[in-house]
Amino acid sequence: MRKVKEPPLTQDEEIILREQGGYVGNLRSGWKLGHLYLTNKRLFLFQPAGIIFETPLSNITNVTIEERNFVFRRKNTICISYKQMETGRTSKVWIIMANLETWRKKIYGMALLKIDEETVDRVAAELNGESREILWYLWQKGHATIDELAAVVAAPTHMDILLKIRKIINPT
């Protein structure tokens, strides 16, 4: 088995998802295969010769699922709308890989899902007291260990916290 050459990353750039796949930039060209990478800063397709497509996450304007011809069948693809770095014009690319839904959710969450204090306030209004405290603690800190969250609401066990997150906070 051949080791895959890793792409160049910028300082403080971390790989979030990596998978074999392909992309097509316009419907007249063919699919280009390689390794798709989603980092905390950009989405790109890498081949041994180098990066053949990339866009910063901040340039992504929409993420949808669309059927496209791939080999001799129609398959679901992720359609990425983005602003071109050079011109600022909106373009589209279609990407395909095995774990399509995982990628769609992650790209959407990292590029388009903007959560502000007003949104957190609306969600918190629908929660009970302890769940609200957990949500606000996470919003203010950005992250927390299960021990920290248990201390915030004086929960007797970690399971109490996990159940509040799973059954109350996440559905809301």
Contacts by residues 156-159 (CB-CB < 8 Å, ≥ 24 positions apart) = none
Q: How far is CA 4 from CA 33, 35, 133, in A?
A: 14, 9, 45
76 and 65 in contact (C-beta within 8 Å)? yes
Closest CA to 139 of 115, 161, 113, 163: 115
The pLDDT of residue 15 is: 93
The pLDDT of residue 104 is: 93
The pLDDT of residue 120 is: 83
Q: What angle do CA 19, 25, 27 make, to 5 degrees?
A: 120
Please tell me the pTM assigned to this model: 0.66
The pLDDT of residue 112 is: 79
Taking the C-alpha atoms of residue 37 and residue 9, their distance in angstroms, rounded to an integer, is 11
| Domains along the chain with CATH numbers | 15-112 (2.30.29.30), 117-169 (no CATH)
The pLDDT of residue 101 is: 93
The pLDDT of residue 138 is: 87
The pLDDT of residue 142 is: 77
60 and 112 in contact (C-beta within 8 Å)? yes
The pLDDT of residue 81 is: 93
Total Cβ atoms within 10 A of residue 50: 11
pLDDT in tens, the chain (172 residues): 556 678 889 888 999 999 999 999 876 778 999 999 999 999 999 998 899 999 999 999 999 999 998 888 999 999 999 998 888 899 999 999 999 999 999 999 888 777 778 888 888 899 999 999 999 998 888 788 999 999 999 999 999 999 998 899 888 8
